Structure 1
Amino acid sequence: MLTGSKENVTAPGTGLGMSIVKQIVDLSGGVIEVHSELGRGTEMKLSLPPDDRLRRTSESPELMIPIPEYSIGAVRRRANGRTVTIRGFDNTAGKSDLQIEAITSLKASIVKYAEEWFNLEVNSDNLVADIVISDESEFLKSTKLIESSSQLLLILCSNGARRGIYTSQFEVGQLVEFISKPCGPHCLAKALLNILDAEDALKRSKADHAIQAEPQG
């Protein structure tokens, strides 16, 4: 990298990106090392200390960096008694060892969030559940999702894969919410609340329609 070789030093915002990075590194207790050599450019090395808090988060929700309690509590309250099934994370065909390790870890995290954070019961893939949490691969490999009686569907996907998923792949009347990968408990809680909001809105709409359809005395 040749520092400043493509920058106008008088332009507003020059160096802002590096300034933000430096602030983040400083707050994290890290170090940025810069080595420059004439005619060759500049080499930058960024070092960050391991954070014990991040390792502990996979062990217990209580040790997690604080997450807005209202979202977690709201999911527990509104989804109380609901069941969840998780699909699309077990297909390893054509995947590298690194990809398999990543998707296995992601599935384990989703199960942990559902059971320990939100108090939801996770069913096996072949059982009927109230909510389906699916990996994008479940849609990219076929034209239609395996039939599901669940009205609520959450799809974990990358931005690129999302463009290849179409509404024709969903069941009629199914409510769908997309979640970007990787997904933490806060993002999953937000997605669950969004889809529960959509479910409530649909119920209200049906109730209003039923009232309007009643014969007027």
Structure 2
Amino acid sequence: MTSGSTPLAATDPLPLRPRRVLVTGCTGSGKTTLARSVADVLGVPHHELDALFHGPGWTPRPEFATDVAALAATERWVTEWQYSAVRPLLLARADLLVWLDLTRAQVARQLVPRTVHRRLRRVELWNGNVEPPLWTVFTDPDHLFRWGWRTFGRTAERVAEVLAAPGPPVVVRLRGRRDVRTWLHGPLQDAAGR
């Protein structure tokens, strides 16, 4: 099934062997984790957009758009569909869009422990950056938790626009971890010829 229709489900066969894959979902849905798994199954490179975007001190890298354009021009990749400045460019080249359509409760069960772990362990994320102190959830309106809550429905709106448009990419909708496992070890592996 292509755009202009309903998305494929976790058990539906893929009509192609994906070469350029976008993974979308709200903040904390597991986009990067799934993107890495998809890249492993397909044997293609994964490029983490957050690593391309964030410079030291959480500053945007000036080369971000140029780096993403170079990435999009290649023939095989998996990345996250985020950052409004580059979304159209990536979408124009993608042949598959995987949508992590989780509930707020599912996302909270993933995002809260992940963020707390990263902060307490001071895990370096990108270019020397670490999660800010946990108390900043109360003072920073753009704290990850608050941003995720505020922007929760935007992904569904964007995917609806993709589905309403003619042509590629194929869209797959995954509604939880079970769907992710089913799809990775079923339709995606089948499409990869493994």
Q: Say whether the fold is shared (TM-score over 0.5).
A: no
Greater strand share, 1 or 2? 1
Q: Which has the higher contact order (CA 8 A, sep 6+)?
A: 2
Q: Which structure would you say has the larger Rg?
A: 1
TM-score (norm 1): 0.26
Greater helix share, 1 or 2? 2
